[in-house]
Amino acid sequence: MSCDVCDYDAMLSIPNLPGLGAFQELTNPKYKVSEFVQQLYSIGIMLLGEYSFVQVKFGELIFDGYADALLSAAHSELVKDIALTFGVSYFNESTFIPIPVPDMKRLAFFYQYNNTNDEEYWIDTGKNDVNNLGKVLSWGNLTLLPESWYSTIQSRMINGSDSGTFQHPDMKESDRLQIFMSFLCRSLYMDFSHKVDIDGIPTFEFQSPSSVFDTTLEENVGMQYENFERINYVPNWPKCPPRNTTADCYNFTIDCRISDNFCHTCCNGSYVNGTYLIPPGLFPVKCYPGHVKQPPFVVFISAPHYAYSPKELVDTVIGLSPKLPEHIPFKYNHEPVCFISDEIHTLMKYFFRLLEW
């Protein structure tokens, strides 16, 4: 465990993730579920014993998994038999459930991930070019992440090595380390910070910059949360002067999704394409960690205490106190000549949207 007072069997009260996930999918316009049907399924979910919060053990929540009535019912033979009887199918499956059902029967953030339960990797051996040692060539038979996850090629790219395990020899301070992290469902990079000795071994410390957590940058715009619920989660962000409503923007092309353009006279702050963007410093997880599968819940990842986010977001939660560099999410110490990872520090915050259902 990560601390002296942590207990693997400690009981936690958490939001009901499958219930929240099901509610979000039922209300997602792309599945075209009527309000009447939404109400029917909401009642059915409650009859199954699903409530807004549940109690589970820490170890079950993180690695071991816990049984959930909603997931169990969705995978039951009864659901399949009823669908076959009435000839109902969705997503090429015999089911009367009008939203995708996650391919899992137990729920955990990193279910069996501690036992290297991941997709298959093909990596470069470095035989032809030692600088490519450990580079991921494909993951889960994919050379690009699914288009349903991210909307741009740059966001879908599988870059670098698996979780930074391998890096090229003779590292330089000017290097930018490319890393693919399957439990984050994305690639990211790290930049050199400083030199540090680890048990007498000189190392280079590389850290994840704030830019890799910023979906308002052009490089990450493909990872923006779709926010089909159209909720302005941080109403006082960004701070822009009054708009010039008389400006002629019909013959003007500008990408209002990018933070540099938020306050442009032809943009409207965080309101873009009929919905609201979320601030920098967090991004949605688009897969079940380590797998090419849809997660049964909606979850976001950020630096601890929203350390990479604007003050307007930090102030929405009482008690947060972001501190840098203490709250930098990823710190890797590499021995520069032999490229070995001597020490790794990882800090992340997982959080969820809570909606009335």
DSSP bridge partners of 284: 300
CA-to-CA distance for 224 and 351, rounded, in angstroms? 16
Rounded (10°) CA dihedral 4, 5, 11, 12: -90
* 3-state SS class at 62: helix
Closest of 224, 219, 217, 229 to residue 262, by C-alpha:
217
Q: What is the mean pLDDT of each run of 10 residues along the chain (357 residues)?
A: 74 86 86 89 81 89 86 85 81 80 81 73 92 92 96 96 80 94 94 95 96 98 94 95 84 93 95 97 90 83 97 95 96 88 89 68
CA-to-CA distance for 298 and 295, rounded, in angstroms? 7
The pLDDT score that the predictor gives to residue 251 is 83
- pTM comes to 0.87
- Residue 342 has a CB neighbour count (10 Å cut-off) of 17
For residue 296, the number of C-alpha atoms closer than 13 Å in the C-beta half-sphere is: 25
Supply the mean pLDDT for the chain. Answer: 89
Q: Is 167 inside a domain boundary? A: yes
The pLDDT score that the predictor gives to residue 214 is 98
Domain-terminating residue out of 114, 148, 174: 114
Q: Are residues 130 and 93 in the same domain?
A: no
Q: Are residues 206 and 284 in the same domain?
A: yes
Q: Are residues 83 and 122 in the same domain?
A: no
Closest of 231, 215, 240, 223 to residue 316, by C-alpha:
231
CA-to-CA distance for 110 and 65, rounded, in angstroms? 8
Q: Is 234 inside a domain boundary? A: no
Q: Are residues 54 and 124 in the same domain?
A: no
Q: Are residues 88 and 148 in the same domain?
A: no
Q: Which domain holds residue 215?
A: 118-225+277-357
Q: Are residues 310 and 181 in the same domain?
A: yes
For residue 25, the number of C-alpha atoms closer than 13 Å in the C-beta half-sphere is: 18
Do 277 and 270 contact (CB within 8 A), yes or no?
yes
The pLDDT score that the predictor gives to residue 354 is 66
Closest of 170, 166, 202, 207 to residue 308, by C-alpha:
207
CA distances in angstroms from 115 to 63, 82, 237, 290, 332, listed in the order given: 9, 37, 42, 11, 22
Q: Are residues 39 and 151 in the same domain?
A: no
DSSP bridge partners of 90: 93
Q: Is 269 inside a domain boundary? A: no
The pLDDT score that the predictor gives to residue 114 is 63
Q: Are residues 203 and 331 in the same domain?
A: yes
Q: Is 252 inside a domain boundary? A: no
Dump pLDDT digits (tens) for 277-317. Answer: 999 999 999 998 888 988 877 789 999 999 999 999 999 99
Cis peptide before 146 (omega within 30 of 0): no
Q: Are residues 170 and 316 in the same domain?
A: yes
Q: Are residues 144 and 22 in the same domain?
A: no
Structural domain count, the chain = 2
Q: Is 213 inside a domain boundary? A: yes
Q: Is 244 inside a domain boundary? A: no
Q: Are residues 81 and 98 in the same domain?
A: yes
Domain-terminating residue out of 114, 137, 169: 114
Domain-terminating residue out of 64, 90, 114: 114
Q: Is 122 inside a domain boundary? A: yes
| Residue 61 φ then ψ, to 5° | -65, -35
Q: Environment class of residue 174 by beta-carbon count within 10 Å: exposed (0-12), middle (13-18) or buried (19+)?
A: exposed
The pLDDT score that the predictor gives to residue 355 is 63
Q: Is 51 inside a domain boundary? A: yes
How far does the chain reach from its first CA to its final CA, in angstroms? 35
Q: Are residues 38 and 81 in the same domain?
A: yes
